[in-house]
Chains A and B, each alone.
Chain A
Amino acid sequence: MSEIAFLGAVEIGLVYAFVAIGVFLAFRVLDFPDLTVDGSFPLGAAVAAVMITSGIDPWTGCLAAILAGAVAGLVTAFLNQRFGILHLLASILTMIALFSINLRIMGRPNVALINQQTVLTPFYGLGIPDYYVRPLVIFVLVIIVAFLVARFLASDFGLAMRATGVNAKMARAQGVRTGVHIYVGMALANGLVGLAGALFAQTNGFADVTTGIGTIVVGLAAVIVGETLFRPRTIVLALIGCVVGSVIYRVAIQFALGADAIGLKASDLNLVTAVLVAVALILPRLRGRKATT
């Protein structure tokens, strides 16, 4: 694997680390199986791309992408909390609605950003090659966001959110308004996914309505790979696991792409993903069995 290909995989892994953290918040912290992300990722990309092409500052575009993603999460939470629609179903409804909404936002299925000012533009031309600049900038953003999320989950409010996911009845008995925490958690999770979409569009030169396909699988794969590696008992470790898991997932894909020699083809990628996640799920059991025998 070449240096550029490796750094490219790391960069895309870091972009998807935001998705992994969002998926972690929904699935693990809130225990809310949320497929909204397949829609909120391209939503973030669409909002940021449209704002950037109309001359608005790219950081503002990222912020708007976060807000748009958050609204998507709120809609799913609303369908679930207000009308009692099963979480999975509520999130699927939001996801398919977002496909149409994303098309409306962009006005067409694909908006190009190749020649636009992005959040990365100021960092190009500092003498460092572009393929270093992108992962570095994204890495710094990931660290900032992971820190903020960890700090949030360590607060009274965040702790109550975690309790909502673990034991809602107990949480309510402790005075936690679980509904509020589900709304806030879902908004936060999808806001992060929206940011990932915005950054993906800016680092890869386009926003396309099809970019959302399989986002949830990628996010879950990253979370599970991270959990297997770190077996985290603290939130900080779990978040680091999300980031590392996401990067490992992308590097594994990159490896599969370059593995013609061992007979793998691009069309085997889905199989690679499934095997990766399955191994990550099976490994802890094997280790557990060894420990007991």
Chain B
Amino acid sequence: MGSVTEPFPISRIAGRYLLFDIDVISYARRTHNTCGVLIGTLPNLSQQNVFLGIPLELMPEEARVLIERGHAYIVDDEETHRKGFLQMSREDRLAYLQYMDELGLEASMESKRKLEERAAKALKGKDLSSSLKQKHAGPAPSEATSNGDEESLFDSSEPGVQPKASQSNLIPHFITPATSYPPLSHPPVDRGLPLPEVPRSYPLFRYMHSKGYFSTPGLRFGCHYTIYPGDPLRFHSHFLATGLDWDEEFDLLDVIGGGRLGTGVKKSYLLGGEDPTADAVTEQSDNGASVEVRPVRTFSIEWAGM
């Protein structure tokens, strides 16, 4: 796992906040209880929706909390890429192509090594390795041919003939990298970019985040956030949260509906809002960033079922 230096960049593309670097994704999850939503297709596993991959879409709330606390900064990825690739110099391009060739050759060697490993394992499993090795001294390995197992036949004979695959006759694979760094260098921190625009449920989100809770979008349960006591990889969620304004009037039926639904799925319904009349407190982060917050009150609602 690579190391991440703070503040890390968050890509802004068409008004959405995305992470492409796996190290940053893992880091944000471990260190800043920010899990976002994976929206990408996993290569080679592109016919299912259960496990998804990079990129990770951050809620504007998540991006804003990370930026307010000085852990991250926004990068305008459209501008960066327009400059970086559409106006790329010849030297940069050739250097990049050569770099990709090197990576491709590595990948090619790696896949060859894996193929050999697998073949050796398969042979071992069938207890054929010893008999095949003996056969190599003789003419054709007729026994293996009769097995009809083409893969093991091919792979077992080749390393026998050429003990080490020479690099020169390997065709480098082509690689689509996940991020654009390299060839682009990380853009400098630009404080001029506006903070992500957040809905009015943001105070509740920030409050729960500051208490160490993990949040995911609440669409599936018809609320603003589904709130987890720990990493959603390991824990069930506890709350279906809806953030409201302090004096906002809302339908009593929402409480009934939320309360019943929440109880039905072993969670409780959470309402919360920020008190605008209270004095703002300045919260200081470890890295010197400070943010003014007002107290938030929360109420948990459960279907009593008496």
Do A and B pair up? The answer is no
Q: Which residues of B contact A (CB under 8 A)?
A: none
Q: Which residues of A contact B (CB under 8 A)?
A: none
